[in-house]
Amino acid sequence: MKLIYVASPLAGNADKNIQKALRYCSFVASCGEVPLAPHTIFTRFLDDTDKEQRRCGIKMGFALLAKCEELWVFGSTISTGMKSEITIAKAKNIPIRYFTEYCEEVL
């Protein structure tokens, strides 16, 4: 089993986007991999609307990304945070896969 970092938007409609991220995690698990979506975890104890807490959450997410074997990017909207995750994954030679909101791989 690979540890997969799940990247998807949070801002905008956080509650709806967290529900989508949980669906993406379920998809990753159904593929036989271990999903990790930090924004579904950190929002339990960090306030994403507070600049300092958001920075802390992003920094912790980057630390976790470095431990993952792949980055899976979901949805057609690539947020600023997701762009940073993609940049870090590329710099660390972490393979990246792209999926639609409906979990169909974009080749």
The pTM for the full model equals 0.94
Distance from C-alpha of 23 to C-alpha of 10, rounded to nearest angstrom: 14
Per-residue confidence (pLDDT) for residue 14, from 0 to 100? 86
DSSP secondary structure letters along 63-76: HHHTT-SEEEEESS
What was the pLDDT predicted at 30?
Answer: 98
**Domain count for the chain:** 1
- Residue 80 resides in a domain: yes
pLDDT for 48: 86
Q: What pLDDT does 40 receive?
A: 95
Range of the domain at 40: 7-106
Mean pLDDT over 89-101 rounds to 98
Asked if the structure places residue 1 within a domain, the reply is: no
Q: Is residue 73 part of a domain?
A: yes
Q: What is the mean pLDDT of residues 9-29?
A: 94
φ and ψ of 99, to 5 deg: -135, 150
